[in-house]
Amino acid sequence: MKCTSLRWLGAAFLVTAEGFAGTTGSLEGYVRARDSKDPLVGAHVLIVGTSMGTTADIAGAYRVSNIPAGVYDVRGSFVGCQTVIVRGVMVKPDLKSKLDFDLTPAPVEVAPVVVTAERPPIQKDVTGTVYSASSDIFTALPVQNVGEVVGLQPGVTLENNIRGGKTTENLYLVDGLPIQNLMGGGAGASIPQSSISELAIHTGGFDPEYGNALSGVINLVTKRGTENHIFNVRCETDRIFGIEQTDRRYEIDAAASGPVAGSLYYIASLNLLYTDTRWWQDMEKFFSSPVSRSYNAFGKLEYGPTADFRISGQFLYSYRDWRDYEYSWRFNLAGLPPRNDQGYRIALILSHTLSTSLFYTASLSLYALNSHIGGGSSADVDTAMYQWDFFLRYIMTGNRSWWADKQQSTSLAKLDVTWRASEHHLVKAGGDLDLQGITSTVVRYEPQTNVFGKPFVNKPMLNYGSDYRYFPRSGSLYVQDKLELSKDGMLLNLGVRYEFLDPRAERPLAERVPLPDGQYQTSIVGTTPASIKQMVSPRIGFAAPFAARGYLFINYGVYYQWPLFDYLYSGLNNVSLKKGVGVLVGNPDLKPEKTRSWELSIKYALANGVVLSGTYFNKETTNLIDVKTFVPTNSSVAGDYGFAEFVNNPYARVNGLELSVMKEEGHPLSGSVSYTLMFAEGLSQDATAGMQYYQWGLPVPAVPFPLSWDQRHTVKATATLELPWQMLVSGVWSYHTGRPYTYYPSTDGFTPLDPTMEFEPNNARMADYNMLDVKISKTFSVGDDASPSVRITVYADGKNILNSRNVLWVDSSGKPGGELGDVSAWDSPRRVRVGLRVAF
């Protein structure tokens, strides 16, 4: 006789799945007698190693809700039947995982039957595009951090531009709570690799729980405390065998988890990273080692006195200090200011299951981030122009005039409720309230430059200084119903999200009055309060089978993102405005950026577990941030030369096709291949582009042009090969056709080679990009083969193993590195890192 289960969600990575920003899922199915298929009323289903479980009802059905995302062993048992244990059942955030038990009658007690869970090749309740990765991806593939995992996905660049969007358009979450840099964009903190349990990478069609994001959402789910004490440590370096191709890099990552007392469990992890960077030959002439240091720590205590109630406290800390490298400063690197970021988050999360059909999660958190540039105080900043060589190529003496202290904090209260209203309706609703504190003091002067990047040493430097402090508020409400229209997988997702932002600021009404001597004077004629911005975002998704192994998915949504707070508040200090301090003036009445997006996907599973998929996506973004510029060209005084105000006006459009072949499970080979065709065009690449055009004396583009991260053709492949003797070989290959650049050649750096040539942004393409990374590992086990007490893994991780010279940027004449041959124009050359991982 054979006990079976729905083969579902094995320990895999890079799986397509759909989920919320939550951190829990559910497990449900039926317990029946194998031969008669009669329901086994009262049969027990238990999540092994936890107190979570339930009994089957009169129909043999069971449901366990509010299970923290992760991989579990699940036991099904009934009096008079042989117990079945299913290993490796993976529970995804807010997904309904199915697992059926067919139990065999056993008149006497016999040993349990152990089977390994496998997931279905296609997750049927999918309407958007989400790629999921377990923590195993860091040990299996040659990837070092979350950013590299995100970069493996179709439609994503290596710099993490998702489907043609800016990197600042992505939202980063840890356990469903944001760690966003509200002033600069992107993630404001990192967590140790050893603390990550799951990654959910949303590249399109994300649900209404997600807000303040236009392109992608990356949600990191952390690990839980374990029933037994588990310790692991990883050490890694690239300084081996005396080779010169090194970053002088050392990394240690350690973690521990286990019980404290009773139902109280802990997990703690720490990551230390020291490096002298790829520029160490120049850096060591000015700075002691290490040039860059980072410390990341995560800790969690979780208390679950019953299976229905859990409360956890978390602490996250992230610190980094480093020195920038610029090739034109290589003879005076000490003139560049030191930098450091320091952030922490404290969170309290309560999860309560009221019944098998209803549970909620309530969260309170405080997240703070401080970014500092420069030494001493703001009064110590040297505002004099630094000195160039005779040919205006290298900076020989002087210091960059840049000092900044930026502080931000977010107090967040969040509530999420999940209710299975019926067999066909899964409703989720919730909301949050955010109270922010934003403080910024910046002293920064930069030389004016021409279109070729040459400085005007006789013109006054541009003053980018600002000084502000504000306390904005924001919040949201959302509701979604996941409606199962049929048992064969037809699904309709209907959701809506409401958001608001109160800038709590006044917009000064400023006028620039020309003076007889050619200078300008600022006159404040009044102020007007910034209005509260309110948005409503519909989200609609549909999934339906079109064949026995094929499914169709359609998704449409409207997404908003608040402007970065620097764009809202820079230079709004009235004293600064009256004195003409600051070339950039914020606008607290900026509208949120808005994207309308839709996608259509088809997925088909072959009999051998290979999944073929194709996705067409289309995005239009409006209200992007740029500047309206009032910079007089005849001003001779560095202090009142006009200003540039942030405004909404640029437009961007992206469409593309993603094709992929994936085999996430199987021995000895698994992996994926994807191809992306994409067109990313817009009227502006960044929020200060308009001021640059004005400074150069060139017209602002009137028609969309290819954006600098427009990768027209992209191919990615991953492969993992299991060899005998617990050896593993894996590889990642990335290729894309050349990215755009602006071809506008010059012989002297001041005048165009052809004065009649019209300036067109990104009118040419660089060389193609080709990168291969390889990882080899060997594991030694001590103790029982099924459950060894100690695992020791040694590995070698090779980056750019072919040592390809991949061009990142060229000058206006098409020369990589420009007239200096700047080596930063090429991506990193070959690096080999060796490491040791011990778990016991």
pLDDT (tens digit, 9 = 90+) per residue, 656-680? 999 999 987 777 889 999 999 999 9
The pLDDT score that the predictor gives to residue 216 is 94
Above 90 in pLDDT, residue 634?
no
Q: How far apart are CA 809 and CA 793, in angstroms?
A: 38
Domain annotation for the chain: domains and CATH numbers: 13-116 (2.60.40.1120), 129-137+143-782+798-839 (2.40.170.20)
- The whole model's pTM is what? 0.89
| Contact (Cβ atoms closer than 8 angstroms) between residue 491 and residue 127 | yes
pLDDT level of residue 689 (50, 70, 90 thresholds): confident
Task: Inform me whether the pLDDT recorded for 585 exceeds 90.
Answer: no
H or E element that contains 306: strand 292-306
The pLDDT confidence band at residue 763, using thresholds 50, 70 and 90, is very high
SS3 777: strand
Top pLDDT among 728 and 125 is at: 728
Query: 688 pLDDT band (50/70/90 cuts)?
Result: confident
Q: What pLDDT is attached to residue 111?
A: 77
List, edge to edge, every strand of the sheet that includes 584-585: 584-585, 643-648, 625-630
Cα gap 620→632, rounded to integer Å: 34
Average pLDDT taken over every residue of the chain: 88
How confident is the model over 91-103, as a mean pLDDT?
81
Tokens of 60: 């043999």
Nearest to 336 by CA among 372, 385, 374, 380: 374
pLDDT in tens, 442-469: 999 988 888 888 888 888 888 888 889 9
In angstroms, the CA 710 to CA 739 distance is 6
Structure token pair of residue 686 = 């960044």
Asked if 499 contacts 538 with a C-beta cutoff of 8 angstroms, the reply is: no
Tokens standing for residue 566: 């620097």
Burial 385-406, CB ≥16 within 10 A → b, else e: bbebeeeeeebeeebbbbbbbb
pLDDT for 93 beyond 80: no
The DSSP secondary-structure symbol of 696 reads H
